[in-house]
Amino acid sequence: MRNLPAIVAVGRTKFGEHYGKEPEKLIEEAWLTASKDSGIERRGLEACYLSDCFLPITNKLGLEEGFLSELTELHVPMEVTRSVSAALVTACHAIQAGVYKTVLVGGIEKMTDRWDKIRDDLMLLEDPWSYYAGGTPEANHELMLRAYIRKYGLTGENLEKLKIALAQIAVKNHANAVKNEYAQFQRAITVEQVFKARKASRKPLGLYDFAPISDGASALILTSDELAKKITDKPVYVLGHSSATDFLNFPARDDLTHFIASKTAMRNSFSRAEISPKDVQLLELYDQSTFMELIALEDLGFYEPGTAWKVIYDSCQDYKTYYALNGKKLFVNTDGGLKADGNPLGATGGAQIFEIFKQLRGEAGDRQIQNERENRFGCTHELEGFGTKAYVCVLGKEQK
């Protein structure tokens, strides 16, 4: 890959409810961490790419680019996207084209400032037909789960194991978040609690099956590979990145049990990185619900369609922080995922990249996976809407 983009530093805030903090305080905190680690100051930035979904609504901001310009006191090119993954793809293209050598990529969201309004907007973001029918942001997850159960003929004992497997995903992610100082929920839960919440809601998925509404910010500094080597001896390279789209209307799609956008983005990203799923040990998946983690494992090619629940169920019976994969270990959402780390939409993808970056450099603290020799590649997966747009990014600590 020409002018291979490299991440030289990352930063983020704790995710959660930051009602008392202005948006500029959050993004400044994330940026300053990355700036300190890399030694790059504001005047060294040639462009900025920021992401958010609802900042103009929640905090009455007009042009976010102007907000960022005022904050940084810079007049360099700045653009706004809906996700950090989208911002990263744009920044990578600019680096590869040789337009810039140093770019700031960041994300911010203040969703709890107007919680009732955000709930309404989340419904419209996923599917307008569900919105006008009175569907909740969780409705499509449950519809997809029902379609999955029907397609793969899950009944009796197998259906019960699927339900337990989904609960185990929530338990696993909360256990990982206990070791993550930035996580919104740093507390353990049990399978019994997940089932009790489902019973209380009278639905197949309950409170502990869904990611929360969160505030937070994340940032990373992206440079050319040539410059990266001068800044740090441990750059993390963006080996492959891709996005793909699908119909906005979920019921109109050809397959209601999988996301074709995720499959397409994964295939293109892995092809560009010149690796396969068997080379990857570390995943950050977009688990907006426990079912979304299961589906992503199948869509990204790590398990055959209709089988991931079996592996999850078996792996978590005597859980050792990983899923079994052809005799190897697959570590998924080591930071707690959206489920426990939090889900401030515009900043979520940055937290995923933050985790992969730290893991590949051996800087993840108590969460650090120990297979250093095998831990060469990581993969992030982010969605916009309900599988309407998917991003897959392959990161590595060495050039291919």
Structural domains in the chain plus CATH codes: 5-115+213-225 (3.40.47.10)
Phi and psi at residue 331, to the nearest 5°: -95, 125
Please tell me the distance from the alpha carbon of residue 208 to that of residue 222, in angstroms, as a whole number.
35
- For the four alpha carbons of 190, 365, 331 and 352, in that order, the dihedral sign comes to positive
Task: Name the token pair of 142.
Answer: 């449950």
pLDDT-based confidence at residue 126 (cuts at 50, 70, 90): confident
Residues 111/58, Cβ–Cβ less than 8 Å: yes
| Residue 64 predicted with pLDDT over 70 | yes
What's the mean pLDDT in 139-148? 95
Which segment of 67-76, 123-132, 358-367 scores lowest on mean pLDDT? 123-132
| Residue 73: burial class (beta carbons within 10 Å; 0-12, 13-18, 19+) | exposed
Nearest Cα to 198, choosing from 138, 258, 155, 158? 138
- For the four alpha carbons of 242, 247, 249 and 253, in that order, the dihedral sign comes to negative
DSSP per-residue letters across 258-312: S-HHHHHHHHHHHHHHT--GGG--EEE---SBHHHHHHHHHHTTSS-TTTHHHHH
For residue 263, what pLDDT is reported?
97
Q: Which amino acid is at 275?
A: I
First to last CA, the chain: 9
Please tell me the distance from the alpha carbon of residue 92 to that of residue 214, in angstroms, as a whole number.
27
Residues 222/88, Cβ–Cβ less than 8 Å: yes
Collapse the DSSP code of 235 into the 3-class scheme (helix H, G, I; strand E, B; otherwise coil) and give the result.
coil
Count CB-CB contacts under 10 A for residue 326. 9
Count CB-CB contacts under 10 A for residue 369. 18
Average pLDDT, the chain: 92
Q: Which residues is 240 bridged to in the sheet?
A: 394
Phi and psi at residue 187, to the nearest 5°: -145, 145
Task: Name the token pair of 311.
Answer: 């592996």
For residue 62, what pLDDT is reported?
78
What's the mean pLDDT in 203-232? 96
For residue 13, what pLDDT is reported?
98
What's the mean pLDDT in 15-36? 93
For residue 123, what pLDDT is reported?
76
Q: How many residues does the chain have?
A: 400
Task: Name the token pair of 66.
Answer: 């102007």
DSSP 179: T
| Residue 196: burial class (beta carbons within 10 Å; 0-12, 13-18, 19+) | middle
For residue 87, what pLDDT is reported?
97
In percent, the amount of the chain with pLDDT more than 70 equals 98
For residue 58, what pLDDT is reported?
83
For residue 327, what pLDDT is reported?
84
In percent, the amount of the chain with pLDDT more than 90 equals 77
Phi and psi at residue 219, to the nearest 5°: -155, 155
Q: Where are the alpha helices (DSSP H) in the chain?
A: 23-38, 55-58, 64-72, 84-96, 115-126, 128-132, 139-151, 156-177, 191-201, 225-231, 260-273, 290-299, 308-315, 337-341, 345-360
pLDDT tens, position by position, 265-280: 999 999 999 999 889 9
Element (H, E) at 109: strand 102-110
For residue 228, what pLDDT is reported?
95
pLDDT-based confidence at residue 311 (cuts at 50, 70, 90): very high
Q: Are strands 102-110 and 215-224 parallel, antiparallel or unpaired?
A: antiparallel
For residue 400, what pLDDT is reported?
67
CA dist list (Å): 97 to 40, 90, 91, 100: 22, 11, 10, 8
